[in-house]
Amino acid sequence: GSKVDDESFTDLEGYYIFRPGDVLNGRFFATSKQGRGTFSTVLRVKDQADGDRECVIKVIRNNEYMKKKSLEEMQKLVLLTSKDPEGKRNCVRLFSHFEQRGHLCMVFEPMLMNLREYISKRGGRPLEITDVRSMGFQLLRALSLCKRCGLIHADLKPDNLLIGMDRKTVKLSDFGSSLHRQEVVRTNNGVPVTSLIGSMGYRAPEILAGISLDFPCDIWSAGATLCELLTGKILYKGTNDNQMLLLQMELCGNFPKKLVKRAAFREKHFGSDGVFLETKVDPLSKVELRVPRPDLNTPIKSFEKDVLRHVAKAKRKKRAEFANLLAQMFIMDPSKRPNVKECMKHSFFHSSAQ
């Protein structure tokens, strides 16, 4: 047949135009389009060079910025795979990559969907505590691999956890926001330059306050994610940094004074005495008021009573263990928060309590 020009494979926004039956890289037979994100078109394919094995290909938009960002993510995925060649540590697997008609293409193992989609497909019904226990352990296993690779994921949430075809396996995905810890430490001494890291509801308090950016922020986000899988509700549902800190402190108390002292965004959220200042807008005058909240120096709510109370009573001991795990994953001082290995040893994952 006559050669088709590259243009007809790319739309005006740089997206790959999918046609059923396309063959990519001379071997991947495209069966369907699974979706489309900011960066890519996602295709379901069969690998004709490997017994028609099912794979997923992310076809990155033909655009310099997207390509550069995706190459950075790809290097991180290659690093993760190199430290886990057998694929036993629950990070999504990149099989290979190539370029086709100006599009960077990344070939992944096929997964069913992300956990936000999974819960909404269940009619918004949250998961059982036994599933949360299993998925939580898998998520921590993934974080231990990230740590071995010196990566802070920095955007952990149900959207970035994929569930397998077996509906049991979960894998951590989307390393587009992940950070090399060494680079973070080199830049501004590990202090966040902005509070806009990760996604609002899952953002650790030390990022909101401008204290530090390091492995513990992933433990915080993992806690928020697991809690949401069990309750079906976003745990800290703030619409701005100040509200987020308020909701976090209701359950976890304030930072130690010494941390508030070195917080980069201290003026926005704290009085000179280290007490949290809640920003309120007067409904009539629209004037912004800053209300000191010394009551938040220690928690005013509890995980067991206020967050998990509706979780099936039958599993009371398990629920108590989970509440205890959360209280630890949500220690305000990141240096006191348990690391991945310590979380994995928690009785929630190991005891036979019902």
How much is the average pLDDT of 8-15?
86
Query: What local confidence, expressed as pLDDT, does residue 218 receive?
Result: 98
Residue 32 belongs to domain with CATH number: 3.30.200.20
Tens-digit pLDDT profile for residues 58-76? 999 998 999 999 999 999 9
Domain membership of residue 102 (yes or no) is: yes
Per the structure, the count of domains in the chain is: 2
Q: Are residues 129 and 77 in the same domain?
A: no
Max Cα–Cα distance, the chain, nearest Å: 76
Say if residues 48 and 28 touch (Cβ distance below 8 Å).
yes
Output 83 or 37, whichever has higher pLDDT.
83
316-329 and 129-148 helices cross at what angle (nearest 10)? 30
Residue 239 belongs to domain with CATH number: 1.10.510.10
Q: Are residues 205 and 309 in the same domain?
A: yes
Query: Is the per-residue pLDDT at 236 higher than 70?
Result: yes
Domain membership of residue 310 (yes or no) is: yes
pLDDT bin (cut points 50, 70, 90) of residue 275 is: very high
Q: Are residues 232 and 331 in the same domain?
A: yes
Please give the structure tokens belonging to residue 253.
Answer: 């108390």
Final residue belonging to a domain, choices 78, 108, 138: 108
Query: What local confidence, expressed as pLDDT, does residue 2 receive?
Result: 42
Query: Is the per-residue pLDDT at 340 higher than 60?
Result: yes
Please give the structure tokens belonging to residue 97.
Answer: 């990559």
Tens-digit pLDDT profile for residues 249-266? 999 999 999 999 999 999
Domain membership of residue 226 (yes or no) is: yes
Q: Are residues 156 and 195 in the same domain?
A: yes
The secondary structure of 90-105 as a DSSP string is SBPPEEEEEEETTEEE
User: CB 338: neighbour CB atoms within 10 A?
Assistant: 16
The secondary structure of 28-78 as a DSSP string is EEEEEEEEE-SSEEEEEEEEGGGTTEEEEEEEE-S-HHHHHHHHHHHHHHH
Q: Are residues 63 and 156 in the same domain?
A: no
How much is the average pLDDT of 99-116?
94
Q: Are residues 270 and 343 in the same domain?
A: yes
How much is the average pLDDT of 138-161?
97
CA distances for 155 relative to 53, 193, 220, 222, 347, angstroms: 30, 16, 11, 10, 26
Query: What local confidence, expressed as pLDDT, does residue 190 receive?
Result: 86
Q: Are residues 226 and 241 in the same domain?
A: yes
Query: What local confidence, expressed as pLDDT, does residue 307 receive?
Result: 94
Q: Are residues 73 and 207 in the same domain?
A: no
**Active site members:** 155
Query: What local confidence, expressed as pLDDT, does residue 352 receive?
Result: 80
Query: Is the per-residue pLDDT at 1 higher than 60?
Result: no
Q: Are residues 236 and 289 in the same domain?
A: yes
Query: What local confidence, expressed as pLDDT, does residue 120 receive?
Result: 94
Query: What local confidence, expressed as pLDDT, does residue 4 receive?
Result: 47
Query: Is the per-residue pLDDT at 95 higher than 90?
Result: yes
Final residue belonging to a domain, choices 81, 108, 135: 108
Residue given tokens 């920095």 in the structure block: 154
Query: Is the per-residue pLDDT at 3 higher than 70?
Result: no
Q: Are residues 167 and 312 in the same domain?
A: yes
Q: Are residues 127 and 258 in the same domain?
A: yes
Percent of the chain whose pLDDT exceeds 90 = 82
Q: Are residues 192 and 338 in the same domain?
A: yes
pTM for the whole thing? Answer: 0.93
Rounded CA separation 47/137 (Å): 31
288: phi then psi, degrees, rounded to nearest 5: -85, 125
Q: Quick one: which of 177, 207, 203 has its CA closest to 192?
A: 207
How much is the average pLDDT of 143-170?
97
Dihedral in degrees, nearest 10, Cα atoms 207, 210, 214, 220:
-30
Mean model confidence pLDDT for the chain:
93
How much is the average pLDDT of 6-24?
84
Domain membership of residue 1 (yes or no) is: no
Query: Is the per-residue pLDDT at 5 higher than 80?
Result: no
Final residue belonging to a domain, choices 50, 84, 108: 108
Domain membership of residue 327 (yes or no) is: yes
How much is the average pLDDT of 148-175?
97
Rounded CA separation 160/156 (Å): 6
Domain with 31 in it: 6-108
Query: What local confidence, expressed as pLDDT, does residue 240 receive?
Result: 95
Q: Quick one: which of 17, 117, 109 has its CA closest to 56?
A: 109
